[in-house]
Amino acid sequence: MDIQLWREILDPYFLAVDELKVKFQHLKSEYNNAGEYCPIDQIEGRVKSIASIIEKAQKKDIPLDEIEDRLVDIAGIRIICQFVEDIQTVVNIIKNRVDMNVIQEKDYITNSKPSGYRSYHLIIEYLVHTTKGAKKLKAEIQIRTLAMDFWATIEHSLQYKYKYNIPQTIKTRLSNAANAIIVLDNEMAAVRDEIMDAQDSLQLKDNIVSDILTNVQNLYKVANKREIIKIQDEFLKIYKDGDLYELEKFRKELDIISESYRAQSLM
């Protein structure tokens, strides 16, 4: 197959990866803007390289004209979560969407691979539109925790280094590390509520401070300098004390001041 044809084949997959990344990023922003805990920590995406597609097709005895049907991970998205519990939440979010049709599920968390690999895979059908029209293609979404991702990344590099023939001593160490990852994820799950509370408060604080600063910036245009300095000093004092309740109260007061200036300017 010549390069031009590969480009034509892969182009919709690049579009799919870009779109899917934007959609999941936006989901993350929605949670953050609402000051809510987000089950998604990071999003990555890639289109499989031509070399990697050919290698996999040869390994699985797939003729090149059948790769689009039979290679389900030409487009790949990886969603990294903080906690094991978040993985099912993300799976449900995806299953409830009308723009992604789940056609296959692989639960390598309940049934980890002999290597020790753990992750939840969804194969989806996804519709993209290019100048050539609409095209339904397959994409793989891997969902796993930060800890599982750390293990998989290291193991993948070693597979590459040893050309898929990792020496037994290293395999044993990787297997031990995989078990340690299970323990780590379980320990983190036990303190999940505590961590979530802390992160929610941080996000809430960020949102409140951002609102206050926008208001102060707008007041510069209408209020007198002495009043703004007074407001800023008060804000810095409340911020230093670190009381979220007082910070929220201050935001509301500032909203009222800004609103009264807006009303005056309309008179």
Give the active site residues.
140
> What is residue 102's three-state secondary structure?
strand
> What is residue 58's three-state secondary structure?
helix
Q: At closest approach, how far in Å is the CB of 195 from ligand 0O2?
A: 26
Q: Which is nearer to ligand 0O2, 113 or 161 (CB)?
A: 113
Q: Which is nearer to ligand 0O2, 121 or 138 (CB)?
A: 121
Q: At closest approach, how far in Å is the CB of 128 from ligand 0O2?
A: 20
Q: Which is nearer to ligand 0O2, 73 or 86 (CB)?
A: 73
Q: Which of 18, 12, 36, 6 is nearest to 137 (CA)?
A: 12
Q: At closest approach, how far in Å is the CB of 17 from ligand 0O2?
A: 13
Q: How far from 171 is each of 149, 163, 168, 177, 188, CA to CA, in Å?
A: 17, 13, 5, 10, 25
Q: At closest approach, how far in Å is the CB of 183 from ligand 0O2?
A: 19
Q: Which pair of tokens denotes residue 226?
A: 């002495």
CA distance 37 to 203: 8
Q: Which of 224, 212, 217 is nearest to 251 (CA)?
A: 212
Binding site for ligand 0O2 (CB under 6 A): 48, 52, 56, 73, 106, 113, 115, 117, 121, 152, 155-156
Q: Which is nearer to ligand 0O2, 144 or 251 (CB)?
A: 144
Beta-carbon contacts of residue 47 (< 8 Å; ≥ 6 apart):
10, 13, 14, 17, 74, 75, 76
Question: Torsion angle, CA of 139/144/149/152, rounded to 10 degrees?
Answer: -70
DSSP 125-179: EEEEEETTEEEEEEEEEEEEEHHHHHHHHHHHHHHHHTTT---HHHHHHHHHHHH
Q: Which is nearer to ligand 0O2, 148 or 247 (CB)?
A: 148
- For residue 173, the tally of other CB atoms under 10 A from its CB is 13
Q: At closest approach, how far in Å is the CB of 25 from ligand 0O2?
A: 21
Q: How many helices (H) and strands (E) does the chain have?
A: 9, 5
Q: At closest approach, how far in Å is the CB of 265 from ligand 0O2?
A: 58
Q: Which is nearer to ligand 0O2, 101 or 159 (CB)?
A: 159
